[in-house]
Structure formats: C-alpha cells, structure tokens
Amino acid sequence: MKVVVIDYGMGNLFSVRRALEVSGAADIEVTADPSRLELADRVVLPGVGAFVEGMAGLTAGGFVPAIHDYVASGKPLLGICLGMQMLMETSEEYGLTPGLGLIPGKVRAITRMRPDGTRRKLPSIGWAPLRPAGVHGWAGSVLADMQPNVPMYFLHSFHAEPEQAQHMLADYEYDGLPVTAAVRRGNVTGTQFHPEKSGPSGLAILRAFLEA
C-alpha cells in the first residue's frame, strides 16, 4: 500500500509521516508533485494555518484537479485540521474563499460570544472528548472502533458546518458550544483534531484509515 502525504507548503509533515509509520504504513511519500497521487492507495491532506493560504498553496501546486481525480477513483482520502476544512465548499476566514467542494458546507468561525454576552477564549486548544454526530453514528468510518468520549487534541478557531447531517461524523463541546470534530462523505474523511498528536487513540484512527 502506498500512502501519499500532500506537501503544499503548510502542515506538520514530519509528525504526520511519523504517526503513519507507527500506525503501520510502510510506503509513505511526502510530495509536492500532484502527479504522484495517481499512484496512491491512500492520500493524506494535512495542514495548519489559514484557509485562504492553504487553498492558494494547493492551487499553485496543481493539486486541486489531482485531488478531485483521486477522490473520483474511490480510494480513501483523509484531511487533517486545515486539510479537513479545505474539503468544504467555502470558508469565511479572511473573506469568502472557495474550497475543494468535496463536502457541501461552509467553514465558519467558532462563535465567540456566549449567550450571556461574555466572550469565549479562542482558539480552542487542548484535549476534548469526541461525541457521535449526524445520523449514522460511527459505523463504517475510521471511528468505528472508538468509544464515545475518547479525547482528541484540537487547535483551531474555525470549524466546518456541513449542509447535510449525514456528512457529520463527530463533534465536541467547547465552552458549552457544539463544534464539528469530524466529517465524512463516501471515501472522503476529515478530522478537525490532530490524530498524529492524540496519542494511542489517534494512532488507532490512522490505522483504521490505512485498513479502510
């Protein structure tokens, strides 16, 4: 099995690669060449930073059509953090920016104001327990073997809001507010949390992705 990690100039590539190795991947290629996706059995789209810069990097590197072609092949793709957000149609971060459009919906800021008028602290950073969301639970997904309330590591101020409940996979509670933690549409999965930084449970999710 060949795992390709997309290098578009943003993302903690070393940590992702190392976590994939520990999870059982033997043939891993980190690449800035979009043509390498044609050879992949699994593709990982990592990322940290701003949506507009991430999409600019993917576009400049020629990855947008290559990602669409890869997804059309039916093989699994995993987006992590910013990589998950870019799976959506648009983001409101620093203005309206088109995304990859693989999952219908938008990326919006986590609501800063509490109902009582006080302000939430952002970004959301640290460990939080996952909860099943949407309409199908976790069956058939990379979270299928996870127990509810397993903690994962988050660091973000924006989150995805899928248009359809069937594409919601998990959420978590941040200061009384439900926040999207994972999404899925067919062979495309995204995690807002960092599985590569989430200890044994995060590695188990990566193993499930490799075995999907």
Annotated active-site residue in 81, 93, 156, 167: 81
Q: What are the tens digits of pLDDT across the range 1-39?
A: 999 999 999 988 999 999 999 999 999 999 999 999 999
pLDDT reported for residue 12: 87
Note the pTM of the prediction, 2 decimals: 0.96
Q: What are the tens digits of pLDDT across the range 103-140?
A: 999 999 999 999 898 999 999 999 999 999 977 789 99
Residue of 178, 127, 78, 108 lying closest to 170 (CA atoms): 178
Question: Which range marks the domain in which residue 163 is found?
Answer: 2-211
Q: Give the mean pLDDT of the chain.
A: 96
The verdict on whether 136 is a catalytic residue reads no
Q: What are the tens digits of pLDDT across the range 51-66?
A: 999 999 999 999 999 9
Total domain count for the chain? 1
Q: What are the tens digits of pLDDT across the range 133-179?
A: 977 789 999 999 999 999 999 999 999 999 999 999 999 999 999 99
Annotated active-site residue in 38, 173, 194, 211: 194
Annotated active-site residue in 53, 167, 196, 211: 196
Q: Find the CATH number of the domain harbouring 197.
A: 3.40.50.880
The verdict on whether 196 is a catalytic residue reads yes
